[in-house]
Structure 1
């Protein structure tokens, strides 16, 4: 299994490696990687335990541990991005909907559906779906100021000179779509010194998850993903939300 292969590759026990010094600072040291991994897991856990605080499902320790593992192994497998705050709010609805599929499945299932809804693969399925979603969202989590280390450890403060992808995208949405469709809203934002990234970064990175109730998220995401994981039409949702806010204020 793909997910099992990732877990096996990234879960090496440093005590099983002969001759590796726990105090070594070498990038090749398994012990150093082990300590960095623990630090990364601690950062992820801080976010996970705060996920949807009013929902009992996410207070379950096993659920939280599953989320931490999914996020950790994804971050380590995508070292050019690493883990960013907000990713836990993407994996949470995915995990919950997969759990609901199993919970409300009919008692009589075909052999294929029994395999698809096997509880033993809930974590595997969560990882694969999260990975698919992140294909479209990954660029919005990449920043120009902070770069993860090549091994997927915690980000450093190293500065690079490539432009911030999410800000560039939001500027494009404003100039190519918002201004032509509703110049008055665009002008009002400019006159109030409200930049698109002030709200747009949260909208994109959380896939509008905080702008709607948790129960509405699956319906919204179903609409978004109908066009594919690259999210080719997500800019229309941004523009529609801005125009709808204008209509509410009128």
Structure 2
């Protein structure tokens, strides 16, 4: 029996059971979820991110309830002042006794203007997502009919923006995106909205992130969240089973929400010093480098090359900007299956540094900063195998 067939058989044994053994599922997913036949990764991620319950007979009810709830979010939270809120029974003017100059905090117009400040950043970010592939610029087969058939409720209509030239955007940096010159340029309309009746995948992500920000006002939207939701949506929207694929938007929203509940400390500045805050994570990484290769640690320390210069982005965005999308998804198989919830991320980051040992020991400050901020192309299995060794595991 081939290695692939043996691995597929292992997944079948776990996934065909009436009750999923989540421990066994995590163990086999940690070693990577086979890309073929398609459909395994979307299902496994839904289970690993606690969206689907282990008992399979509960799936239908859970999915129905969650997807209906998501539709309610769309109906309740994406309604513009001046529009009518319509259902099958009544038509109500939502702006009765309200107007754009109303300073009352309860004014729908005040909420609308405040939301647009957040929406402007989301709109920019989703338009620059994965410019090296065309997926997010393409149209979904399942546009949200409540939106595309309702004049004026498409979110990108609410903000004025300059359409970014996708070829000029480098997927590096959290916060300010660096602009670079490239030899091959894509047309500016690559990220243009599709015509009425259609939606590009980036437009779907814009809605997911906007709803997340609305429903989580204590955190809101933080630049970089687009890089977290993108791979999840890509996996679900490419599910070969249309009965799953048509609900990719709602399923992505809840899986993203569950994931953010675990890593949200990375995105909240006031929690930087918390146990799972970003500063604590960077300290753990530095300590692990020192323990495994004192020479590299000393070299970086002498150069005052702080981990904030490179690992802030690595850790916060779960390495989503350091590798091509297929490699990111392979990394996330292990991260989502990590029994210690993202402790393996530290091992991966440490492995990345150790694998650059010769270059780092030979390079000066400027060279090493550039090297770490632009991790060189490398077989992802080499990185993961090194990380597993550091963690005392086999991969």
Q: Is TM-score (shorter-chain normalized) higher than 0.5? A: yes
1:74 alignment partner in structure 2 = 212
1:51–1:88: 8 Å Cα contact kept in structure 2?
A: yes
Q: Residue 314 of structure 2: which of 185, 191, 203 is its match?
A: 203
Q: Does residue 47 of the first structure (1) align with residue 125 of the second (2)?
A: yes
Query: Are 2:125 and 2:226, in contact at CA under 8 Å, matched by a contact in 1?
Result: yes
Matched, 1:214 2:325: yes
Aligned mates of 2:283, 2:325 — CA distance in 1: 28
Q: What is residue 255 of structure 2 aligned with on the other side?
A: 129
8 Å Cα contact 1:170/1:196 also seen in 2:
yes
1:52-71 alignment runs, 5 A limit = 52-60=130-138, 61=193, 62-71=200-209
**Distance in structure 1 (CA, Å) of the matches to 2:339 and 2:114:** 35
Distance across 2 between alignment mates of 1:167 and 1:70: 28
Partner of 1:98: 236
Following TM superposition, by how much is the alpha carbon of 1:18 offset from its aligned partner in structure 2, in angstroms? 2.3
**2-structure distance, mates of 1:87, 1:163:** 20
* Residues 229 and 179 of structure 1: CA distance in aligned 2, closer, same or farther (over 3 Å): closer
Whichever structure has more helix as a proportion of its residues is 1
Distance in 1 separating the partners of 2:72 and 2:284: 39
Aligned partners of 1:66 and 1:123 also within 8 Å: yes
C-alpha deviation, 1:224, in angstroms: 0.9
- Partner of 2:131: helix, strand, or coil? coil
C-alpha change, 1:203 and 1:34, in structure 2 (3 Å) is same
Contact persistence 1:70–1:123 (CA under 8 A)? yes
- Kept in 2, the 8 Å contact 1:135–1:229? The answer is no
Distance 1:41 1:228 in 2: 35
C-alpha separation in 2, matches of 1:53 and 1:47: 11
| 1:11-57 Cα distance to aligned partner (Å, 9 max, x none) | 34433142234223333222111112222222111111111113121
Question: Are the counterparts in 2 of residues 224 and 231 from structure 1 also a CA contact under 8 Å?
Answer: yes
Separation in 2, partners of 1:125, 1:244: 37
Which deviates further from its counterpart, 40-49 or 232-241? 232-241
The corresponding residue for 1:171 is 283
Q: Is 1:23 the counterpart of 2:101 in the alignment? A: yes
Aligned pairs (5 A) from 1:123-202: 123-144=249-270, 163=273, 165-175=277-287, 177-202=288-313
**1:6 touches 1:73 (CA, 8 Å); kept in 2?**
yes
What is the TM-score with the length of structure 2 in the denominator? 0.52
Residues 74-98 of structure 1, C-alpha deviation per residue, up to 9 Å, x if partnerless? 1121222211111111211111111
Preserved contact between residue 335 and residue 345 of structure 2 (Cα < 8 Å): yes
Distance between the aligned counterparts of 2:357 and 2:266, measured in 1?
25
Aligned equivalent of 1:245:
356
- Give the greater-gyration-radius structure (CA): 2
| In structure 2, distance between residues paired with 1:188 and 1:178 | 11
The equivalent residue for 2:142 is: none
Q: TM-score, normalised by structure 1?
A: 0.79
Cα 1:118–1:163 shift into 2, 3 Å: closer
Offset at residue 248 of structure 1 (A)? 5.7
Q: How does 1:216-231 map to 2 (within 5 A)?
A: 216-227=327-338, 230-231=341-342
Where structure 1 has 5 or more consecutive residues not aligned to the other structure, the ranges are 106-113, 145-160
Q: Quick one: distance in 1 between partners of 2:340 and 2:129?
A: 24
For structure 2, which runs of at least 5 residues remain unmatched after alignment?
1-67, 83-93, 139-192, 194-199, 362-395
| Contact 1:140–1:201 (CA under 8 A) maintained in structure 2 | no
Deviation digits for residues 145-198 of structure 1 (CA, Å, limit 9, x no counterpart): xxxxxxxxxxxxxxxx974831232123323x2222222222111111111111
Counterparts of 2:341 and 2:115, CA distance in 1: 29
Q: Structure 1, residues 181-219: CA drift from partner, whole Å, max 9, x if none?
A: 222222111111111111111102221112211121111
